[in-house]
């Protein structure tokens, strides 16, 4: 049952992060969602797009992380970790992801403004010229969140696995 709780915790955390992240980026550049994504929601409302894409684009990331965490926390003879013990590591990962997304968005924005990066292909013609810098800021923020989430997710899984081994090595002090 704890393994299912870990997976659910991870999926819900990813969805919550995705919704908050997309609420911000949809307001920076709604075209990132209306032009840069398939039109599955039939709206250009940033709030609805942020909620919709926040769920659609992140639940599966949470599922992958949750399965990895459930394995790292529960499999084998080592002392088990429960879902509650994973709230802090998952929260820290989400905070690091958010910080990196903000930094990447700023770098992407400044690079686009300086002409170092620009949209190519059909996006260059579809996204209005005055919105392309904001579009690239969003793209960099999203790319950073996925990259840091993947790398950080692996690190969290390894850390959880290793923490279970360390708890075996701790001496047990018995009361007199």
Over range 71-80, report the average pLDDT: 95
Over range 139-158, report the average pLDDT: 97
135 pLDDT higher than 50: yes
Over range 74-82, report the average pLDDT: 94
Share in percent of the chain as helix, strand, coil (round to 5): 75, 0, 25
Distances (CA, A) of 115 to 100, 110, 168: 22, 9, 55
User: pTM here?
Assistant: 0.90
Distances (CA, A) of 164 to 39, 51, 77: 45, 36, 10
Over range 93-111, report the average pLDDT: 98
Contact 74, 80 (CB under 8 A): yes
């Amino acid at each position: 049952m704890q393994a299912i709780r870990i997976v659910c915790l991870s999926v819900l955390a990813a969805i919550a992060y995705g919704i908050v992240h997309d609420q911000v980026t949809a307001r920076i550049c709604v075209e990132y969602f209306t032009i840069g994504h398939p039109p599955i929601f039939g709206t250009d409302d940033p709030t609805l797009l942020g909620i919709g894409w926040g769920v659609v684009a992140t639940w599966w990331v949470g599922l992958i992380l949750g399965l990895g965490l459930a394995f790292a926390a529960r499999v084998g003879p080592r002392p088990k970790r429960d879902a509650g013990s994973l709230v802090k590591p998952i929260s820290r990962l989400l905070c690091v992801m958010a910080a990196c997304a903000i930094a990447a968005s700023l770098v992407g924005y400044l690079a686009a403004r300086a002409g170092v990066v620009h949209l190519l292909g059909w996006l260059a013609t579809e996204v209005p010229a005055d919105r392309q810098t904001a579009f690239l800021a969003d793209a960099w923020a999203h790319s950073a969140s996925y990259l840091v989430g993947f790398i950080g997710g692996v690190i969290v899984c390894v850390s959880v696995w290793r923490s279970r081994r360390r708890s075996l090595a701790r001496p047990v002090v018995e009361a007199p």
